[in-house]
A and B are shown apart, each in its own frame.
Chain A
């Protein structure tokens, strides 16, 4: 293993980690506010990727179809909350989780019926897919663009959460919903905002995924969603910065282990699960997390 290969793998790891991070933020936000594992989140990423694909295939310029995809994903996210989660706010948690898995399965099968289960090629403009050669390392443009966009979005998210009124409302909802309502804050609007932000990031993550592995299929969100959730738990669920750190750790591990021990390549998808088990065993609050069970009371 020479230094060039090593650099190459590092670059790939950053890119993969960014995608996990973008999706993990959505999980962590919703879990922080509602204590709900939003199983449909991975599928909203899939909806975003398909929306971009359909828009681009029907002649809309790529940049505009990305914007359209983000809007479609936001609407899908808000609708799932309004239709499926909001009526169950006071119900036992198991009802909410069952509905979430129902929505997830519904979206997967709906897109399966609409588009068929065969993967479709995802075409992106040349400036995103070409590679530059630098000192013997091949750097695809995606691995520069994806981490940059992720970091910018992370800072935007942290700014919204820590510096704006809405961010303050989101953070306070994580502690105590009834009291927040008594303070005159429209809790349902804030929750809607959380779903909209998470879904927008998921759509961006989905489009990045579609560009990097240039194909999309209705089940693409399942494994990625699972890994992103593991990343969110690893970073400390409820913490946005933690989700990003967790995403990067997971992305690096996958790339590095497969690069250095190719015989483990078949087990690539299992690392996220092993991380999840280890975190739950040794540090259930994750790297950045606080004890959310206690903070409710």
Chain B
């Protein structure tokens, strides 16, 4: 989630209250304050509110929330004489474009910084790292209208931003820092989106880089903004930028976007309308609000309230709100505007009888038995590797999927699969704890994943200078007795144990586990120097472990 840096002097000036009030109330609007410094604060806003990724947006929201300026704020768009022609060639590549002109800005450092940060945050969130949407900001005086948005081939050349030589598209993707960073978006394409001006000179190569010639400087007063992408996120981002610049005193002028089959005028800063049912408000929140309370809450959140009828409220949604998909999104804002801290919590009357899950009941019993036998419970990661699970144990690697589950793109060599056995994890624990006094007796009762399904296992081991088969057999005998199981043993061929000192546990004619003296080669693999005796039992089929989803 983006962290927005807000400078106190700007924020206090734009909102019109002191920092104490801001610090107190801002979290109740919905954000996490990460850091508070003398000159600024860092705030993490939620990904559904990109309109708060600038100090202007935050000020606008806070002025409503603090009752300084209530209700819907109207943004005027003057009809401009600016045209973008969309060439059919680009529709297959990056089909959507919108733009706007902003005039009469005072380009301070403060504004440039705020604009650039907002642009980056929008790229990252709404733009999904520029894949879905990308923004270009230009000095209007350097752009020769009308523009054409089209697809070009890789030899098309221009001087990209921050460079002083002409480069082809191919070169830019290979050599320009931004080209290298975002080339993945255009990977596999042989035609590239390009915005060219009336002289057929590039002004922008979306979503990669602008042309150097339209660079915004401190003397810039008028801007042209292009937004390209695939869907309505293009308009959402443009609206957020346009309203933010309007709040800075800019005059917004519209741009005509002419597609082969139709023409759009952007930006559209008119409000959307939504009818919000009053019974839905009461139902979702769980309490009744009076009409004026609903109105005030909405206006605090900068919605417009057109009318309140018996059944519903007609709400005007500001053009910068990218998150309102459903009636409930507005109702949440009513709750925030009303104040979460003012809502009286009430324990629901929902009547139900509690019940435990058999899986965990069996775990509890196994745990009780093992603790009674003096074993210390451990918990280990279920992520592990084939090396530890099988190679170290001298066991054959099973087939993936039938046996273990391999994860894609593991982060380390130690975490490549989900465990199918617990005993290797316990030996790992012992190898990490050699410096602690002996004897060491540990157990874990928990999940393994075999053939993509969870299974319930109990495993334990004991180590000291005289640990042996007889000791672990006593433990197994006690466990089987306490679990009230009819069982027998057969000589095992599990290579993890010493031949002649290993046994399979048989219940109802089926092998459910194994125990024995751990093979010295296994001990060497785990760098253990004391003998270890251990067992592992699969409890899944012995008991009714309940339904797993």
Partners in one complex: no
Which residues of chain B have a CB within 8 Å of any CB of chain A? Answer: none
